[in-house]
Structure 1
Amino acid sequence: MVLEAERWLDLRRFRALRDAGASISEIARETGLNWRTVKKYLEDDGPAAPPVAAPRRSRRGQVIDAYAHVIDAWLRAELLLKASVIHERLVEQYGFTGHYQRVKLYLQEARPKIAEELGYTPSELARLHRRFEVVPGAQAQVDWGDEGAILAHVGIAKVYSFHMVLSYSRDPFVCFTTSQDLATFWACHRRAFDHFGGVPASIVYDRTKTVVRRHVAPGKAVPLHPEAVAFAGHYGFDIDVLAAYRPTGKGRVERQVTIIRDHVLAGRSFSSLTDIDNAFLAWVPLRRRTTHRTHGEVIGIRARRDHAALRPVPAKPYLVTDRHLRHVGKDCLVAFEANLYSVPATAVFHRQLVEIRASSATVSIHATVPDSSGITLLAVHPRALGRAARIVDAAHWDALPDGHTRATTTSHEPDPNGGPVDELSAARRRRGQPAGALRFLLARTEAAEVEVGRRPLSVYDQITGTGPFS
């Protein structure tokens, strides 16, 4: 009906041709319409007004109405939740049988109302960039996402998401961490290679400090981090660093960060990093069944060709460690990332310089000079999450004094065993309590139980040979 109205308007503009004597076929060629349509609307003056569209059928009683309260609740939690995400969750969680377009039409009415209710109006900026395609297995792109305080309720202040996406198929991998340091960054790569079953020929990065040793002027060669070079050499891929201020050079993974937030994180709550990782793994089959709008194929089918072209993962992993120098404290503790880790008291001394080698899961402490056996390792601890933690191996303090030999006495009379008499220990034995523990020396109640002899002052005068003045 809308198309007929447009045709009517076009023909009205060319009515002057008819009045000037143009034939029906000439006007049809000029307007691009069929000659029968031209004849219908121009010959004999045609209809005087455009056709009127039939009234739209009311939405009342549609399938989507039964799920309106669910959709509204999701929109209140995340206003920008996409129609495709909502349809996907309705089908998965509620058995929704309606079409995606029904969800889309409902959102056109519901989203502005809820936006007004919440006092929020979303806006988006359009950006232009050059698109390129690659062959299977040729490239992957990597990026970080900052997911904020989604686990603050369980004591984790900030969560980061590591993203790797295969450029040919757009097959995704994501894992979640609490750190973006060197060891964690490359440990996430190993997890991604295991997920895909191989290693891409090249990986695209921005100028992150875990890949680039230092920033240089545009146009100059970028110096790579030594651990990045060693890791890439072990797994056999090339490092491709983007030029400065070119985020669209890895638009596939940039887009993937947004997709994960919309489909996996938005409107949900989690209790641990493992919980979020499992939510992503549960969503991957849904993603692989999706037809990608750019290459027009099902992602899972295209991913098979991508995976088949990947290089094999080496049998022996390359473990990247972040290295730092620290001093040993008087308490045989070494500070690293606002946490304290113990070292053996018999192997170190105060202010000794030691090397911290931190991986994503452990912290190992090494001496800078090997011992007589050529060993530098002093201690290995699990890496602490958060700050202000004390990771102590009790055996490291075995050689330190604990105060169990300390005693006190109020008399110089020898005991039966040849030692001084300990009145506190004697009082404790009379009460049936063990003697010798350092903590009892600080108890005022026990010190008050010691019986002190009382003598007149004249006794001391006789001892010193002095007397009262008369």
Structure 2
Amino acid sequence: MSSDYQKLLNNLDALNLKHMREYIPNYIEAANREELSLTTSLLELTNQELAFQKNQTVERVIQRARFPKRSSLEDFDFDFQPSLNKKEILDLKHMGFMEKKENLVFIGNPGVGKTHLVIAVGIEACHQGYRTLFISCHELLLRLRSAFEKGTVDRVLRRYARYDLLIIDEIGYLPIQKVEANLFFQLMTMRYEKKPTLITTNIILSRWGELFQNTEIAAAILDRLVHHVKVFKMTGKSYRMKEKT
């Protein structure tokens, strides 16, 4: 019997059913004690393995998205940010904006929770199988400019354009040069009406001409960004100041 038991464990290892391999020793005792049928036992074991593999897949997707931290919509302090419609924010977890190819823009001063919310939405998107990337505006523009100088910008633009959901954090904190503005415009054009983009910014949209140092390119970017968009204006206080106090 012990030989057959060891062979079973070896087979589970060979089949890469690692969770079932760890789970089965205790489960056999419970199954014998409760006199479970073979069908019930196999169903329970395979359900456990499927759930484990799904969680592992989601975890890999979340890691590849490169979030700087983990957050959720449920742990956001809406009482501290009364400018937001709580129901409207919580509805984002249903991913209706993904189906409609609708962009989301969060506008507000530093510390009001913009990044928390886009990370939370991004993690929910990962759970629902959407290929997601989180990147700061500064890093994105550095990568695009580097690719432009190396002559590989078309390939890099296509890579960013393919993400189901692209989250660009902190637009407006650093000046944007003309070349960078043109590259950003190209990326927005490639994603326009194909893939939604989430953006956080501390600059109201009417001042993006100053941000991009070119009113025409800013207008062209905004034309594509706001054609299908939900804008969330956050006028509350800084969480960082709250924690410090």
Asked if TM exceeds 0.5, the reply is no
Which is greater in Rg?
1
Could you say which structure has the higher helix fraction? Answer: 2
